[in-house]
Structure 1
Amino acid sequence: MRRTLAEEPRLAARSFFPHWRPAIVRHADLDPNGHVTNSVYTAWLDDGRYALLTQALRPLIAPGDVLALASVTVDFAQEVGFADAPEIGTAVLRLGTSAIVMGQGVFVGAACAATAHSVTVVMDGRTRRARPLRPGERDALEGLAGSGGDWS
């Protein structure tokens, strides 16, 4: 279920996230008003998700299995400029049979510039279909739950 920032305020708190990745603002990332364009936020969020999943799952899944993004939604809260140093926080929110639901925040200092929800699945490399998460994979992902995570 997609939740907006108003419905999921914990994503606006830096302390919620166990995994962090810095982002770089390039001059080419700016719109005519001097602010980072929305598509760049999505690339930063993708980097944050990929870094967490590579760290937690890549060593555990079969070489042919694939991590596939099934959905992503982003809520923008404030502008990011050229002089800013954004960081991407990522946390596992829930685990389904084969789905990994993650929450993310883009922060500049203590200020939350955007939040996101995403669903990723592990696909069997042979069948190209989502497969159930295995116990070791679940354990690794549960260790990356947001602080105060309720798994609901």
Structure 2
Amino acid sequence: MAEEPRLAARALFPHWRPAVVRHADLDPNGHVTNSVFAAWLDDGRYALLSAILLPLIPPGDLPALAALSVDFAREVTFADAPEIGTAVLRLGARSIVMGQGLFVGDACAATAHSVTVVMDGRTRRARPLTIAERDALGRFAARSGGEAGDWS
């Protein structure tokens, strides 16, 4: 999962979630630590998945993060008001590839790629996405500023 420049464009993202900078999030230099960026990105992904995917999956099945790649671009400080944008970039037979941007105003502080699967509650393995799940996730495809994605 290489860095993708289009993830630095706010217009790409159909789903947004604010993040709160806490004093405890800062390192000794007054910057938000990298692990907090990862937690904020997780909040952004989970907010989208819990609203869209969880109502459709059978009890016992659950979304599981399979891969995460983060590229850091600028610092975030205590005075900032970050927001996380999330978009579905591609749907595989069993995977959901999402792109994210962490923004302070119009400035992109980080971008991320992730792969999520839906784990079958009985087998504990990734299962194929249903048509209903694919349709619901497709509504959160990347917007103009980037192509919608490959739904193969």
Are 2:82 and 1:83 aligned? no
2:19 counterpart residue number = 23
**Paired AA for residue 151 in structure 1:** G
Q: In the alignment, is residue 126 of structure 1 matched against residue 125 of structure 2?
A: no
Give the residue type in structure 2 aligned to 1:14. R
Give the equivalent residue in structure 1 for 2:102: 106
Distance in 1 separating the partners of 2:131 and 2:97 = 17
Whether the 8 Å CA contact 2:68–2:112 is kept in 1: the answer is yes
**TM-score w.r.t. structure 2 length?**
0.95
Q: Distance in 2 between matches of 1:23 and 1:17?
A: 16
Post-superposition offset of 1:150:
3.8
Q: Distance in 1 between matches of 2:52 and 2:6?
A: 22
Q: Equivalent residue for 1:97?
A: 93
What is aligned with 1:40? Answer: 36
Give the secondary-structure state (helix, strand or coil) at the position aligned to 1:122.
Answer: strand
How far does the alpha carbon of each residue in 1:63-85 deviate from its partner, in whole angstroms, 9 at most, with x for none? 11011000000000000000000
One-letter identity of the residue aligned with 1:56? I
* Structure 1 counterpart of 2:2: 3
Give the paired residue count. Answer: 148
Distance, in Å, in 1 between the alignment partners of 2:18 and 2:149 is 26
- Classify the secondary structure of the residue corresponding to 2:110: strand
Cα shift at 1:17: 0.2
Cα distance in 2 for residues equivalent to 1:44 and 1:104 = 10
- Aligned-pair identity (%): 74
Q: Is the partner of 1:59 in helix, strand or coil? A: helix
RMSD over equivalenced CA pairs, Å? 0.8
| Partner SS, residue 127 of structure 2 | coil
- Unaligned runs of at least 5 residues, structure 1: none
Q: 2:138 aligns with which of 126, 135, 142?
A: 142
Deviating above 4 A after TM superposition, structure 1's stretches of 4 or more consecutive aligned residues are none
User: How far apart in 1 are the matches of 2:30 and 2:112?
Assistant: 23
CA shift, 1:10, in A, is 1.2
Q: Distance in 2 between matches of 1:50 and 1:139?
A: 18
Structure 1 residue 151 and structure 2 residue 141: aligned? no
Partner secondary structure for residue 58 of structure 2: coil
Which position in structure 2 is the counterpart of 1:71? 67
5+ residue gaps, structure 2, are none
CA distance in 1, matches of 2:104, 2:75: 10
Instruction: Provide the TM-score with structure 1 as the length reference.
Output: 0.95
CA positional deviation for 1:123: 0.7
